[in-house]
């Protein structure tokens, strides 16, 4: 496994793989790698790709007072995880490499970022869209793999690649969960044992929504009110949002008549957790 820290060497390694007839599969990450990241690397490997992983804690997607400084960093552990997962190339740039002084260009994806996490994290999706554009320009992948857990991010990146004619296939991969349903996230490491058990309320609320929608409930307001009850009963928390939205546009839905994305963001202590589920009312449970 090759590790590069500058753009030129990264481009050279990728060009050599492409010249050897390989398709380039790319998994952008912020490190603190866990089983969900490994599932993205495995998806790229299953596709037969030359697998490139980037590890970069991107400062521009963190707002003031967010956890940029505290975000877990583990270079040795992350490189071992990549090696074990059969990754071919890890791009591990510094902030200076990614954002040389004087950089003033950003990418903004409108409308899709007006709901869910957008209003609660001003500037976050501009930071994501900008760094992903830069990473795509550096790695020039044929396909890039993202987790469905960050459903709004996935929708933003899909729209950005379409609108800006980026020749990259965006592959969405299923959310990986702990045995009790908690979606895997690098931020789960912040939770103390009580908060960790409280955190299962996100998945329980989503499962409740799925079951209610698939047994005929059509009112998004009824669903979100019931979900709020489940989350609030679990313990002290601050709910950023609980929403039912269109899975492509991220716009709120009032009457559920087709597939919807049910999504929530909840702060437990200082940890902000997000989760979501795509639910199709036509897939009725008995």
Q: Are 107 and 81 in contact (CB under 8 A)?
A: no
Nearer to ligand PAF, 3 or 227 (CB): 3
Residue 43 touching ligand PAF (CB under 6 A): no
User: How do 238-245 and 260-268 pair as beta strands?
Assistant: antiparallel
Q: 52-71 in b/e burial notation, b at 16+ Cβ within 10 A?
A: bbbbbbbebbbeeeebeeeb
x/- mask, ligand PAF, residues 47-66, rule CB under 6 A, reads -----------x--x-----
Nearer to ligand PAF, 170 or 264 (CB): 170
Tell me which stretch binds ligand PAF (CB under 6 A): 11-19, 126-134, 214-222, 255-263: 126-134
User: What single-letter DSSP state applies at residue 177?
Assistant: B
Nearer to ligand PAF, 4 or 198 (CB): 4
Tell me which stretch binds ligand PAF (CB under 6 A): 10-18, 23-31, 79-87, 223-231: 23-31
Rounded to whole angstroms, the Cα distance separating 45 from 150 reads 21
Greatest Cα-to-Cα distance within the chain, rounded to the nearest angstrom: 60
Q: How many residues bind ligand PAF (CB under 6 A)?
A: 10
* Residue 49, Cβ density class (10 Å: 0-12 exposed, 13-18 middle, ≥19 buried): buried
SS3 252: strand
Residue 150 touching ligand PAF (CB under 6 A): yes
Q: Which of 131, 202, 206, 264 binds ligand PAF (CB under 6 A)?
A: 131
Q: Is 37 a catalytic residue?
A: yes
Active-site residue numbers?
37
Question: Would you tell me which residues interact with ligand PAF (CB under 6 A)?
Answer: 28-30, 58, 61, 128, 131-132, 150, 153
């Amino acid at each position: 496994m090759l590790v590069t820290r500058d753009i030129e060497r990264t481009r050279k390694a990728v060009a050599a793989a492409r010249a050897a007839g390989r398709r380039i599969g790319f998994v952008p990450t912020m490190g603190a790698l866990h089983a969900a990241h490994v599932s993205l690397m495995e998806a790229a490997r299953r596709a037969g790709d030359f697998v490139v992983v980037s590890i970069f804690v991107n400062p521009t997607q963190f707002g003031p007072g967010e956890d940029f400084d505290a975000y877990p960093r583990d270079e040795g552990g992350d490189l071992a995880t990549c090696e074990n997962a059969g990754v071919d190339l890890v791009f591990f740039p510094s902030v200076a490499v990614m954002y040389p002084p004087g950089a003033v260009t950003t990418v903004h994806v409108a409308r899709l970022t007006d709901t869910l996490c957008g209003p609660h994290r001003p500037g976050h999706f501009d930071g994501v869209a900008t760094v992903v554009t830069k990473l795509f320009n550096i790695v020039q992948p044929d396909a890039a793999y993202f987790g469905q857990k960050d459903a709004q991010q996935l929708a933003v990146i899909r729209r950005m690649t379409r609108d800006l004619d980026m020749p990259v296939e965006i592959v969405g991969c299923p959310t990986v969960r702990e045995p009790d349903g908690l979606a895997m996230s690098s931020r789960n490491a912040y939770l103390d044992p009580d908060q960790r058990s409280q955190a299962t309320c996100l998945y329980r609320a989503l499962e409740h929504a799925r079951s209610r929608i698939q047994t005929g409930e059509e009112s998004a307001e009824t669903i979100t009110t019931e979900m709020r009850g489940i989350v609030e009963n679990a313990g002290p928390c601050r709910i950023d949002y609980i929403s039912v939205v269109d899975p492509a546009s991220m716009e709120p839905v009032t009457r559920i008549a087709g597939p919807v994305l049910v999504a929530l963001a909840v702060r437990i202590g200082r940890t902000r957790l997000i989760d979501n589920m795509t639910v199709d009312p036509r897939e009725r449970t008995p």
